[in-house]
Amino acid sequence: MTTYDVLVAGLGGAGSSAAFHLAREGERVLGLERFAPVHAHGSSHGRSRIYRTAYFEGPEYVPLLLRAQELWRELQTSTPEPIVRPTGGLMIGRPDTPTVAGALRTAEQCRLPHELLDAATVASRFPQFDLRSEESALFDPNAGVLYPENCLRAQSAGAVEAGAELHYGEPLVSWTASARGITVRTRTAEYRARSLVLTTGAWTRGVVRDLRLPLEIERQFMFWFPANEPELVSADRMPVFLWDAGDEFQTYGVPDVGDGVKVGSWRGKFSRTPERADRELHQSDAAPVRAFAAERLRGVRAREREVVSCLYTNAPDRHFVLGPHPKHPNVVVVSACSGHGFKFMSVLGEVVARLATGEAPGFDLGLFDPGRFGRRPRSG
């Protein structure tokens, strides 16, 4: 039986980053992945992802975001493939929506650079967007685009270069933990390690059944709309955006970085397991996004060129699940990221590496405690 210092189960964004940081620290690392490298079955694909710092989800995320940006820039120096591209970002909606009000609150509290723009100013500076008179936008100059597949390839290559073993097509089947260490079984082998990192994404609920995490799998679609006016919607002129368009319809988008303008929404369908996720595109999925592109975006055609599915793994409070297993301190659980996690993957790998080696994480992770759902409120 082969023994390692740390075993990482799941080599998507978080897992490949964890393997990279652990191996760079001299740990003997084994990474296991159920699929081929850089696959499209989970949450770490889609050709482009948004990063931003005026975070409407809460100021608690900002220290992690700022460190993540440093690490993405550092990763860029290791590869000729694009990792990160600054574009700026707009958080759009009525001033009282969480998208705008939350982003403004975080920007002010954390003293982040930002501008609050009315609809007329947006029309002048960013004519790609058709705001209604009652809408406004917060401009985040630190926002931009990440290239997820390139990120994974660079992190995985860095992990291997630093000495990690990465096994693809070999999913974790079971694991046991004690104070003496970890035993992991796959369909073909058994391994031992001092610590275990579970970065299994949509498969997390089944991997840590004892925690009874109340996670839901949300199936989403990403749409790419061809450009009518390529210069108008290029990444040189068009910022990334999040838009609270009313009637509980929230959408996000990325400028044309080679395949058209990418648009997605947060109106997905839910399942208990990734295997049960409905990956078929229905009219109810496509119609609102097509209507949004036709009515609110300029410079694109209203019929998409391509559609790709993606899975979110959501916690009830929409915060991350990140930290040591409540019963096994040598097991680190990293999921769910609730649909807004990829921008953090560089720093989550660094944090996980510290946790797996017994160091302080360097950040306040109380908001993300994996044991928070099993706590009962005190009476009296």
Cα separation, 147 vs 325, whole angstroms: 31
**pLDDT value for 196:** 98
CB atoms within 10 A of CB 91: 31
pLDDT (tens place) for every residue of the chain, 380 residues total = 789 999 999 999 999 999 999 999 999 999 999 999 999 999 999 999 999 999 999 999 999 999 999 999 999 999 999 999 999 999 999 999 999 999 999 999 999 999 999 999 999 999 999 999 999 999 999 999 999 999 999 999 999 999 999 999 999 999 999 999 999 999 999 999 999 999 999 999 999 999 999 999 999 999 999 999 999 999 999 999 999 987 778 999 999 999 999 999 987 788 888 998 888 999 999 999 999 999 999 999 989 999 999 999 999 999 999 999 999 999 999 988 999 999 999 999 999 999 999 999 999 999 999 999 975 444 43
Strand residues in the chain grouped as ranges (E):
2-9, 29-33, 49-51, 84-86, 89-93, 115-118, 136-140, 144-146, 165-168, 172-178, 181-186, 190-198, 216-225, 240-244, 250-254, 261-265, 269-271, 306-314, 322-324, 331-334
Q: How far is CA 134 from CA 30, 92, 137, 239, 247, in A?
A: 54, 11, 10, 21, 15
- CB burial of 100-121 (b: ≥16 within 10 Å; e: otherwise) equals bbbbbbbbeebebebebbebee
pTM of the model: 0.95
Ordered by start, the domain boundaries in the chain are 2-44+149-214+317-372, 87-143+216-314
**pLDDT value for 335:** 87
Same fold, 2-44+149-214+317-372 and 87-143+216-314: no
Residues paired with 29 in a beta bridge: 6
Q: Helix (H, G, I), strand (E, B), or coil: what is residue 51?
A: strand
Cβ contact 238:129 at 8 Å = no
**pLDDT value for 379:** 40
Architecture per CATH, domain 87-143+216-314, reads as: 2-Layer Sandwich (3.30)
**pLDDT value for 375:** 59
86 closest CA partner among 104, 105, 113, 116: 113
Two structure tokens written together for 157: 């290559």
Q: How far is CA 181 from CA 6, 7, 23, 26, in A?
A: 10, 11, 19, 19
Question: In sequence order, what are the residues at sequence separation of 6 or more whose Cβ sits closer than 8 angstroms to the Cβ of residue 272?
Answer: 205, 216, 217
304 closest CA partner among 225, 222, 221, 220: 225
Q: How far is CA 95 from CA 105, 150, 283, 296, in A?
A: 11, 36, 31, 18
Residues paired with 304 in a beta bridge: none
Cα separation, 142 vs 176, whole angstroms: 43
- Pairing of the two strands 2-9 and 29-33: parallel
90 closest CA partner among 319, 245, 291: 245
User: CATH says 2-44+149-214+317-372 is which class?
Assistant: alpha beta
* Helix H or strand E encompassing 12: none
Q: How far is CA 78 from CA 26, 148, 155, in A?
A: 19, 15, 9
